[in-house]
Amino acid sequence: MTVQEKYALWLEKAVADPDVAAELKAISGDDAKIEDAFYRDLAFGTGGLRGVIGAGTNRMNVYTVAKASQGLADYVVKHFPEEERSIAVSYDSRIKSDLFARVASDVFVANGIKVHLYPQLMPTPCLSFAVRHLHCAAGIMVTASHNPSKYNGYKVYGADGCQITTEAAEIILNEIQKLDLFNDVKRCSFDEALASGKISMIGEDVYSAFVEAVKGQSMLDDKTPVNKDVAIVYSPLNGTGLKPVLRTLKETGYTNITVVKEQELPDGNFPTCPYPNPEIQEAMALGMDYAKRCNADLLLATDPDCDRVGIAVKDKNGEYVLLTGNETGMLLLDYICARRTAMGRMPEDPMMVKTIVTIDMAERIAAHYGVRTVNVLTGFKFIGEQIGMLEKKGAEDSYIFGFEESYGYLSGSYVRDKDAVDGAFLICEMFAYYATQGVSLLDKLAELYAVYGYTLNTLHSYEFEGSSGFEKMQGIMRSFREGVEEFGGLKVEKCLDYDLGLDGLPKSDVLKYLLEDNCSVVVRPSGTEPKLKAYISVCAPSLEEARKVEEKITASLAGYFA
């Protein structure tokens, strides 16, 4: 079927949602917009769905959500006995998230699957927790995580609480591809399903159990004096983090907390942070203004689905410094290892898990404490899988920490995805613990660099929108695979192509170039956005020298993305 034929079919059939119908009429005669909306089906992979909200097969709307839900329902029916067929559903503050959650629930119930739905928006880690706590066959989280407001998405979780495996995603995709969007999707009445008990609201007991599990990650004991009156500014970036983060902190004694008012309440338009990602300075700017006005000791911000957390701390000049995900992760790793050792709580075979693009210095910190490191592909689900593998051996207590450079952390096995509630809680605890001793996080970070050597890690993203951008990204990856001899004057000593399935890991479109002088470059397409990402790691005696090397590598890379 051609793009224009698909468009004509949607004009005729997609009339139930007035927003979609209006947009279809509005793009009439605009071939470029029609092409972009219909040139492909919205990609379904290990991250589920993610795309721009709007009309068309390449958009997030009630029809594409319903079709994906039917495919997931068919998978559950084929792979789980009737008594085990239930799916947990949660959603964030994004535009149409609540509607998409209801649509998915309708489809599941129409296929004989019981639905456990959170009665209000809840973070991604709460969904992962509910899947395991309620013994569900699967779970979905309606979110586009940290993307701009025009996006929404649909993360799919397996019975283990992890985002689905590559194998499961392929099976579900095959089920989805069998379906006719307008004829093969089963639906029922949400209100009738709710009244009959086929959709049940997840109770306060499940939410409270999650909060208690987070509080159980504390690395403090009764013998350790800690001043918890440190001044904290917190922003949920108009997302889901407000209630669980504040509840956890307040129940554990942190009461001197100021919330960024403009970013306090859920708002899918993200009016003060168009790109609601705590990785970038623009999203943290308002929180930093608050921190200065309040003379706060620490700034925290969580992304809309509250699985990522970013921080800023005050330096000796009273200025606020944003820490990278790698820096915060290394600080947490060292804190957890040191406290476990001090309290005699280090397991017999302790394990830390990180992704291949996360800072290698973390391995040296772990080794210092006798902790082994497992490296996995990019994506926190691979960290969750490692916890699951330990659990099957009855050794889940061996897992002490996992993190990725993109601001995702998890210190326990109670969920199988990154958890910014846990991250925020442990960051506040770590900060207060060191502050009581007169040590700042910047002091501690400098100490780590002095012991383990300075390492600079940076991330550069290159956007490629639309069908032409998709083709260009593929061409760029092909050109990298044709061979690269150097970056920024540093010779490539080895190229690791993970598309070949290296180190027992699943195949993935990732290239890692090992350069001389212990430097490296990783290139990969984003799994959730129309971007190519380049991760640069530089080892040098000082920050200044590292920056010079990094700038040369960045300039060299730019030619490939032009």
Within 10 angstroms of residue 228's Cβ, the number of other Cβ atoms is 18
Residues 389, 302 share a domain: no
Within 10 angstroms of residue 344's Cβ, the number of other Cβ atoms is 7
Q: Using CA atoms, how far apart are residues 426 and 404, in angstroms rounded to an integer?
A: 16
- Candidates 226, 227, 224, 292; CA nearest to 258 is 292
Amino acid at 290: Y
Residues 555, 487 share a domain: yes
Domain total for the chain? 4
Residues 140, 238 share a domain: no
- Candidates 460, 458, 430; CA nearest to 445 is 430
Residues 9, 109 share a domain: yes
Residues 494, 349 share a domain: no
Q: Using CA atoms, how far apart are residues 142 and 155, in angstroms rounded to an integer?
A: 6
Q: Is residue 92 part of a domain?
A: yes
Q: Is residue 47 part of a domain?
A: yes
Residues 359, 336 share a domain: yes
270: helix, strand or coil: coil
Within 10 angstroms of residue 502's Cβ, the number of other Cβ atoms is 16
Question: CB-hemisphere CA count at 13 Å for 159?
Answer: 10
Per-residue model confidence (pLDDT) at position 142: 98
> Which CATH number do you get for residue 305?
3.40.120.10
Q: Is residue 35 part of a domain?
A: yes
Dihedral angle, C-alpha 44, 48, 51, 56, nearest 10 °: 50
- Candidates 396, 408, 424, 411; CA nearest to 355 is 408
Residues 487, 510 share a domain: yes
Q: With beta carbons less than 8 A apart as the criterion, state whether 153 and 48 touch.
A: yes
Q: Using CA atoms, how far apart are residues 546 and 539, in angstroms rounded to an integer?
A: 6
Q: Using CA atoms, how far apart are residues 561 and 538, in angstroms rounded to an integer?
A: 21
Residues 258, 288 share a domain: yes
Average pLDDT over all residues of the chain: 94
- Output DSSP code: residue 398: G
Residues 488, 474 share a domain: yes
Within 10 angstroms of residue 149's Cβ, the number of other Cβ atoms is 21
pLDDT, tens only, 82-133: 999 999 999 999 999 999 999 999 999 999 999 999 999 999 999 999 999 9
Q: Is residue 539 part of a domain?
A: yes
Residues 179, 67 share a domain: yes
Residue 502 in tokens: 């290296």
Per-residue model confidence (pLDDT) at position 464: 87
Catalytic residue, chosen from 69, 128, 145, 406, is 145
> Which CATH number do you get for residue 506?
3.30.310.50
| Whole-prediction pTM | 0.92
Helix axes 204-215, 124-133, angle to 10 degrees: 110
pLDDT, tens only, 314-356: 999 999 999 999 999 999 999 999 999 999 999 999 999 999 9
- Output DSSP code: residue 499: G
Q: Using CA atoms, how far apart are residues 513 and 542, in angstroms rounded to an integer?
A: 22
pLDDT, tens only, 465-509: 877 888 888 899 999 999 899 999 999 999 999 998 887 788 889
145 flagged as catalytic: yes
Q: With beta carbons less than 8 A apart as the criterion, state whether 325 and 403 touch.
A: yes
pLDDT value at 528 more than 80: no
**pLDDT-above-90 percentage for the chain:** 86
User: Which distant-in-sequence residues (6+ apart) come within 8 Å of 280 by Cβ?
Assistant: none
Structural domain for 62, as ranges: 3-184
**pLDDT-above-70 percentage for the chain:** 100
Amino acid at 389: M
Q: Using CA atoms, how far apart are residues 516 and 507, in angstroms rounded to an integer?
A: 26
